[in-house]
Amino acid sequence: MNLILFIFIVLLGFTSYYFGRKKAYTIQSTKKRLTALPQFYGYYLAIWCAIPAFIIFSLWAIFEPTIVKLLILSDYSNQGYLDDELNLIYEKTKALSRGQFTGEITPFIDASAEKYLSLRSIAQSSKVVIVLSAIIASVAYAYKRISSNSRTREPVEKFLNAVLFTASLAAILTTVGIVFSLIFQTIDFFKVIPLFDFVFGTHWYPAKAFVRDSSEALDPTMYSDTFGAVPIFAGTFFIAFIAMCVAIPIGLMSGIYLAEYASAKVRQYAKPLIEILAGIPTVVYGFFAALTVGPFLKELGTSMGLEVSAESALAAGGVMGIMIIPFISSLSDDVITSVPQSLRDGSYAMGATKSETIKRVIFPAALPGIVGSILLGVSRAIGETMIVVMASGLAANLTLNPLESTSTITAQIVVILIGDQAFGDPKTQAAFALGMSLFLVTLCLNIVALRVVKKYREKYE
């Protein structure tokens, strides 16, 4: 019903656009000069259609449930029910009206459900009537008002401005919301687990928290030595480091090749091919690492007399590096290509060879962008989840041996949140604490990246 109404309103919007434009053409045909193009008259009317519809819909969404609830529960007033009981009755009523009620049906609730349904249908039809009449009234009012010298362009521009502003506001508010939910859960977590234990503890064993029976009282001492995040932070940075060791040299060199050496034809085919790497889902990289690279490294290691775990940091980091190559290669290619040709000419004219020109002129000029692309790669490496979960194991070992398995922040969040979770449990909140620390790390990285880029900008521009 709502969908049909919505489509109808959209059609009304188009119609008002059409009428607005038509009126403008009519005015124009009397040789009067318009203050704006005819389209603006159309948009103006369409806005007069959209705004009342939007306002009424929003008000309805806010007030309808409250009013319906009040009306239903008014039957039960003065009968000595507590607030909680009233809420329960209301929920039962709603469930019954949807046919999802499984308990015992009392005549009272049955009557309420009937009333609920009839109220809803009254509300629905009055909404249709009110919305449509409001739209028609406002469009008609605006239609009568527009004339050759009415201002239509400014309101249309303002409306667009407002729409765009709302869109960006939505993005910002979502971010703020996520950060706040992280913060509150994190604070709750640190009420149970001391911050010091989390930041400096070297033993991460959240499985211990699984054992607790939820009916038992929360005893903080049982969590000592459970949530020490050092091993997983170390693992995160270690795997990211391995990944960057693979991605930076290969990515940069292929970027330089594409930008400076490759002929137009090679570039035309090679660049999209490299970018395909970026389109492979990480889960595919994950099983590539777990099923191909990991066992291969294990065999290779065994043949050389080394002990290699099948799930090793090296396998995960190496494959992650391959995943990041296209980011660095493609971005640095763009940055290098955007270095002005005049600089290359200047260097060649001095008798510099291609490699000298790249090393001494182009690379320094492109450095801010290249550093930016590398830092982007680092934040991807730190935030990457799937490959680590599949290829590096879930045990948080504190080790710097790339041949052993280790774990990362993201992988631990997965471990914690898979399966049943209880809200308010330190185990679940640990995921928020980890998410918060991950967020802080990437935030710092981004700030550093911006600083670095800005510093070089000042130096080179």
* Contact positions vs another protein (CB under 8 A): 263-264, 340, 342-353, 356, 360-361, 364-365, 459-461
List, in order, residues 6 or more apart from 230 with CB less than 8 Å away. 199, 200, 201, 202, 204, 398
List residues bridging with 227 in a β-sheet.
204
Q: Which strand (E) or helix (H) includes residue 99?
A: none
Quick one: 299 or 345, whose CB is closer to another protein?
345
Distance CA 157, CA 146 (A): 17
List residues bridging with 204 in a β-sheet.
227
CB of 358 to another protein, least distance (A): 12
Quick one: 74 or 263, whose CB is closer to another protein?
263
DSSP 183: H
Quick one: 264 or 418, whose CB is closer to another protein?
264
CB of 352 to another protein, least distance (A): 5
Distance CA 154, CA 148 (A): 14
Quick one: 12 or 365, whose CB is closer to another protein?
365
Quick one: 25 or 261, whose CB is closer to another protein?
261
Question: Pick from 361, 364, 85, 377: which is nearest to 243 by CA?
Answer: 377
Considering only the C-alpha atoms of the chain, give the largest distance between any 2 of them, rounded to a whole number of Å.
98
Quick one: 145 or 360, whose CB is closer to another protein?
360
Quick one: 214 or 341, whose CB is closer to another protein?
341
CB of 270 to another protein, least distance (A): 17
CB of 360 to another protein, least distance (A): 7
Enter the tokens of residue 65. 């449930």
Return the HEC string of 17-59: HHHHHHHHHHHHHCCCCCCCCHHHHHHHHHHHHHHHHHHHHHH
CB of 336 to another protein, least distance (A): 13
CB of 364 to another protein, least distance (A): 6
CB of 451 to another protein, least distance (A): 18
Question: What length does the chain have?
Answer: 461
